[in-house]
Amino acid sequence: MSAQSKIITGKVLGSTDGLPLPGVSVLVKGTKKATSTAADGKFSISAAATDVLQISYVGFVTKEIPVGTQSTLNVSLEPDATMLSEVTVSTALGIKRKPKEIGYATQQVTGKALTASKPTNLATGLSGKVAGLQINQANNQIDAGDQVRVVLRGNRSFTGNNQALLVLDGVIVPLSQLNSINPNDIDNVNILKGANAAALYGSDASNGVIIVSTKRGSADGGTVTYTNSTLLNRLSYFPKMQTEFGGGTDQDAYGFGMYTPFENQTFGDRFDGSIRPVGRVLEDGTFQMVPYTYKENEKENFFETGIDEQNDLTYSGGNENGTTYINMQRVNSKGYVPGDKSNRTAFRINGTRKINKFLADYSFNYTQRNYDKSTNQVYNNVINTPGNIPLSEYSDLNSLYGNPNNYYNDYYSSPYFGLQQYRNNERRDDLLGNLSITYKPVEWISLMARGGLSTKNTQGKNKNYAYTYSDFAHDSGKAAAATQYIRSSVGDYNEFESRYTGDFLATATKTFNKFKFTLIGGAQVIQKNYKYMTQSGSNLVVDNLFNINNRTGEIVGSETERNSRQIGAFGDLTATYNDYLTIHISGRNDWDSRLAKSNRSFFYPAIDAAITLTDAIPALKESKIISNLKIRGGISKVYAVQIDPYRLVSTISPAGNFPYGSTAGYTIDNSVYDPNLKPENTVSKEIGFDIGFLNNRITLETSAYLQNTKNQEIINGIDLSATTGYTSAVINTGEGENKGIEFSLNAAPVIGLANGFRWNVGVNYSYNTNKVISLYQGQSQLGIGDNNYIVVGQSFPSLQVSTYQTDPQGRVIVDANTGLPLSNPLNKDFGQTNPSNVLGINTSFTFKNFTLSGVAEYRSGNVFYNSFASTLDFAGISYTSAEAGRERFVYPNSVIQTSPGVFVPNTNTTTISGNGSFWSDGIRANTASNYVMSAAFWKIRELSLAYQVPTQWLQSKAKFIKNASIALIGRNLFMFRPSDNIYTDPEINVGTGNAQGVNNLNQTPPTRIYGFTATIGF
């Protein structure tokens, strides 16, 4: 009878606060029979009287309890002070350090927090979760995951790279690999925010480091997990448009619009519900007739519901001698732009293996992505369609009115036709791998050799299909059919990028009384190779046979190749006294092949210190209020090489129209280069403190930093007079200053009521500002593209665009006769294009087996230019173009200059026209300041409601299932913007470079994402 099993129930509490502990492992010792506590700390398990229950939880001392005659257990677990003191954080080159030893700002995001809303790319999962980290997605197209900007603590370099360094499992990989990392493979992401990490990682780390550690498997047996995530993508925001007037360009003698059936501009007369023709007369003599009314949601309905289906199959297992982690993933995506689709297939195998004094750690990941997408500027054609046009009726190109010959618009082709005619197919293969061998000849010495490889191979084909317009369409005067036979063309491209990294580290750790010393010496070699080739052919002989040999005329092609090598030697010393005072000194010397021999060697040192006052001061150590207080600070000097290889001398290249037969022709570069170019250097200073209250139920981490970057490498060149023979000069010049503050607050206001309710909240805030101290020889500004400028004395980059003349009070000056605003010959500076304030809020509520979590983000302090809004005004589709009813109006907040320097309010001088001649003839559409506004926003980045199936229920109903969960998830569900932003999401940008705050019609409109995920483990 003593061996007979019985049901044991119980509850596990923390000894310090008496609150329930969820997720505690309850194991029948010596067997595989186990369960875990629910959210309320309760558990149930079958055991015999002779069994012993082993109860364990991370951070607590494991307890063993003989069952005996007991059937109900109340267990109290003690915090494991030894284990807590041994918690480490991954820092530079994979070196593990205790948090109390780190003298600069770091922040960690767990894999669980990263994947709560099941993002398909890493960058999306990090948004709003790290103080000082700003992530911008430049587009919403099917390949949007490849168009991401990742910046820590703002800009330092005027024209060089400001994006963070990406490190995967201790090895540097290009940031372009960000979308090749499966978020479900990630164990944690640690952020090194300052330049202090660069002393070991080299100049690439001058912008901070994102350290990604992937899973290595579990040493307690094996598990198989399957996860499915199905997400829907729907159009979320569309520009506010006028709904009163239809197609037309001309106006009558009184200035009122006249209807034109084949016009894409919408300066026609007001909608009246009458039946009117659309387009030109068809070949059979008929017209398409439609009601002259606004078609609600017709443009929005052009965009479909996109679908992302992600499937993961994972194995995790091992024993005390090694672990293995294997993941296979498939993501199938259908874009919300009709016809766009992609897929991603990924395979990862990670693991460790111990053999005597050797430890091997390996990671291998292969990802293949395929895209099929349109290259047509489809958004332009959709948005500028008059409101009375039944656009969705033209989706069938074989239908009477969807046929390109009969499409209503004289000037532009149907967006459905554009989707079919201009396509891109692309395949990208990414390989990421590393292997490290660690040998410990004695307990206090460790030798590690590591090799890493990352490659990216992209092959693509741009296809422009042939089309022949009918004789009738061509002869009718239809502008779009003016070229009757449009021949097909093809363009091929191949891009290959590789990075080989080799590291060697020797580490010695010794303790002498109360002193602990860790000395690290090492070397690193990084080899980078890049090659890009294109070839294209127009006038294909056989229509739509997209082979470069199927052409007439010469092949147009280009080839770019770059190779560089960087060698580094470094040393690192950490001295700790009595486990509470740490001084850390590091230095590295680099040799970079991109610079001339006299400049390619440079050394940068760093020093930081940290003191944990709650360990150093007895009164604080015994405090029941303050559980942790650390003060830290550091200073470092960092160098960064921004130029590409072979940019020290001017080069020659084939001239236009050459080679001509057997005759070659070359032209010299328009830029002149300084052969003595030096690396940029940044001096970074940082102070901060970390404090925890009530047994770390509340923690606050704060930092303040100041960074000055001198010898700026102006890689795009400063402007030169063409009389010099050059138009720009690539030189070192100028200084910039970057400073800011940041804090991260985490609290558990409710950590376990009797009913299992928990509430956790985190707040991440950063304020960043920068300033241009100087430029070349007194120059006041430098253009970097897209209306962005580097201006002395101001934050950078700042936005400068055309504007109107204004009086000293900022009121617009209008012509006394025409009432039209007067153009200013000088551009106006509207301020910075990067946000100065970024606030992220994370919270979660757990009740029994349900968890509701969310992430919100706020940004402000910057402006953006909706360049596509001028197109909306030009076409007459914008909301503002109809605010005055298309009648003459007094320009808002305007004045008339009656004499030099004297201005009177304009109360009755109206514009000479309120119709197309005002909105599309230049005075409005060509003045960019009309479309500059605040880029502030609030976004609900993530929402999820998850349910964890109770372990006890699984044990009784399906013992072969170890865990199961399901969740409803959503991303970017809501966005709140200033009322004057009636256009789009200000986060979307024309690119990922330093020039920010500008968008156009090449970006498709934003989407909201919602769906579900389910996980089952065996």
Residue 796 has pLDDT above 90, yes or no: yes
pLDDT number for residue 205: 84
Distance (Å, rounded) from C-alpha 945 to C-alpha 966?
8
Question: For residue 847, which phi and psi values (nearest 5 degrees)?
Answer: -135, 115
Q: pLDDT tens across 645-656, in order?
A: 999 998 888 887
Distance (Å, rounded) from C-alpha 941 to C-alpha 973?
7
DSSP for 173-236 reads E-GGGGGGS-GGGEEEEEEE-SGGGHHHH-GGGTT-EEEEEE----SSEEEEEEEEEEEEEEE-
Mean pLDDT (whole number) for 48-62: 85
pLDDT number for residue 1: 39
Q: pLDDT tens across 801-836, in order?
A: 999 999 999 999 999 999 999 999 999 999 999 999
pLDDT band at 758 (very low <50, low <70, confident <90, very high): confident
Task: Identify whether the C-beta of residue 733 lies closer than 8 Å to the C-beta of residue 714.
Answer: yes
Give 883 or 14, the one with higher predicted confidence: 883
**CATH architecture observed for domain 5-83:** Sandwich (2.60)
Residue 917 has pLDDT above 90, yes or no: no
Residue 595 has pLDDT above 90, yes or no: yes
Average pLDDT, the chain: 91
Distance (Å, rounded) from C-alpha 756 to C-alpha 38?
8
- Polymer length in residues for the chain: 1018
* Per-residue CA distances from 306 to 148, 220, 336 (Å): 20, 40, 4
Distance (Å, rounded) from C-alpha 27 to C-alpha 62?
11
Question: For residue 872, which phi and psi values (nearest 5 degrees)?
Answer: -65, -40
pLDDT number for residue 38: 78
Distance (Å, rounded) from C-alpha 404 to C-alpha 412?
10
Task: Identify whether the C-beta of residue 736 lies closer than 8 Å to the C-beta of residue 709.
Answer: yes
pLDDT number for residue 120: 81
Q: Which two tokens stand for residue 640?
A: 């960064």
Distance (Å, rounded) from C-alpha 155 to C-alpha 788?
13
Residue 18 has pLDDT above 70, yes or no: no
- Longest Cα pair distance anywhere in the chain, in angstroms? 111
Distance (Å, rounded) from C-alpha 351 to C-alpha 1004?
41
- Dihedral (C-alpha) 899, 900, 905, 907: value to the nearest 10 degrees? 40
Element spanning 1010, H or E:
strand 1007-1017
Give 993 or 255, the one with higher predicted confidence: 993
Distance (Å, rounded) from C-alpha 494 to C-alpha 513?
61
Residue 511 has pLDDT above 90, yes or no: yes
Distance (Å, rounded) from C-alpha 127 to C-alpha 150?
10
Q: Rg of the chain over CA atoms, in angstroms?
A: 32
Element spanning 83, H or E:
helix 81-85
| Burial zone of 345 (CB within 10 Å; 0-12 exposed, 13-18 middle, 19+ buried) | middle
Determine which of 502-506, 669-673, 792-796, 943-947 has the lowest per-residue pLDDT on average: 669-673
Alpha helix stretches (DSSP H) within 388-504: 415-421, 471-475
Residue 322 has pLDDT above 70, yes or no: yes
DSSP for 737-756 reads EEEEEEEEEEEEEE---TT-
pLDDT band at 197 (very low <50, low <70, confident <90, very high): low
Q: How many CB atoms lie within 10 A of CB 651?
A: 11
Determine which of 210-224, 405-419, 735-749 has the lowest per-residue pLDDT on average: 210-224
SS3 of residue 245 by DSSP? strand
pLDDT number for residue 81: 56
E strands present in 15-62: 25-28, 34-36, 42-48, 52-56
pLDDT number for residue 906: 96
| Burial zone of 619 (CB within 10 Å; 0-12 exposed, 13-18 middle, 19+ buried) | exposed
Q: pLDDT tens across 82-123, in order?
A: 544 556 777 777 788 888 899 999 999 999 899 988 888 888
Q: pLDDT tens across 409-466, in order?
A: 999 899 999 999 999 999 999 999 999 999 999 999 999 999 999 999 999 999 999 9
Mean pLDDT (whole number) for 669-686: 93
Distance (Å, rounded) from C-alpha 718 to C-alpha 674?
12
Beta bridge partners of 628: 692
- Dihedral (C-alpha) 214, 219, 221, 226: value to the nearest 10 degrees? -10
Closest CA to 187 of 122, 140, 243: 122
Residue 506 has pLDDT above 80, yes or no: yes
Beta bridge partners of 85: none
Residues sharing a CB contact under 8 Å with residue 807, sequence separation 6 or more, in sequence order? 813, 895, 897, 903
Residue 947 has pLDDT above 80, yes or no: yes
pLDDT band at 518 (very low <50, low <70, confident <90, very high): very high
Closest CA to 115 of 185, 173, 166, 209: 185
Q: For the chain, how many helices (H) and strands (E)?
A: 12, 57
Residues sharing a CB contact under 8 Å with residue 888, sequence separation 6 or more, in sequence order? 255, 819, 910, 911, 912, 913, 914
pLDDT number for residue 676: 94
SS3 of residue 444 by DSSP? coil
* Pairing relationship of beta strands 422-442 and 445-464 according to DSSP bridges: antiparallel
Q: pLDDT tens across 40-50, in order?
A: 788 888 888 88
Mean pLDDT (whole number) for 621-635: 93
Residue 357 has pLDDT above 60, yes or no: yes
pLDDT number for residue 963: 86
pLDDT band at 688 (very low <50, low <70, confident <90, very high): very high
Distance (Å, rounded) from C-alpha 898 to C-alpha 707?
50
pLDDT number for residue 198: 64
Element spanning 604, H or E:
strand 601-612
Residue 19's region, left for phi above 0, alpha for psi from -120 to 50, else beta, is: beta
Element spanning 873, H or E:
helix 869-875
Beta bridge partners of 738: 707, 770
Distance (Å, rounded) from C-alpha 619 to C-alpha 527?
53
Q: Which two tokens stand for residue 25?
A: 């492992």
pLDDT number for residue 654: 81
Question: For residue 93, which phi and psi values (nearest 5 degrees)?
Answer: 60, 25
Closest CA to 690 of 741, 743, 767, 740: 743
Angle at 174 between CA 172 and CA 177, to 5 degrees: 110
Distance (Å, rounded) from C-alpha 990 to C-alpha 927?
19
Task: Identify whether the C-beta of residue 712 lies closer than 8 Å to the C-beta of residue 735.
Answer: yes
Angle at 882 between CA 879 and CA 886, to 5 degrees: 165
pLDDT number for residue 750: 86
* Per-residue CA distances from 824 to 43, 90, 833, 923, 928 (Å): 75, 55, 22, 11, 11
Distance (Å, rounded) from C-alpha 378 to C-alpha 1003?
10
Task: Identify whether the C-beta of residue 393 lies closer than 8 Å to the C-beta of residue 385.
Answer: no
Task: Identify whether the C-beta of residue 679 lies closer than 8 Å to the C-beta of residue 592.
Answer: yes
CA atoms within 13 A on the CB side of 965: 17
Question: For residue 937, which phi and psi values (nearest 5 degrees)?
Answer: -160, 155
Distance (Å, rounded) from C-alpha 499 to C-alpha 456?
9
Distance (Å, rounded) from C-alpha 53 to C-alpha 27?
6
Mean pLDDT (whole number) for 335-346: 95
Chain centroid offset of residue 298 CA: 31
Angle at 257 between CA 251 and CA 260, to 5 degrees: 90
Residue 659, preceding peptide bond in cis (omega within 30° of 0): yes
Distance (Å, rounded) from C-alpha 835 to C-alpha 832?
8
SS3 of residue 122 by DSSP? helix
pLDDT number for residue 2: 44
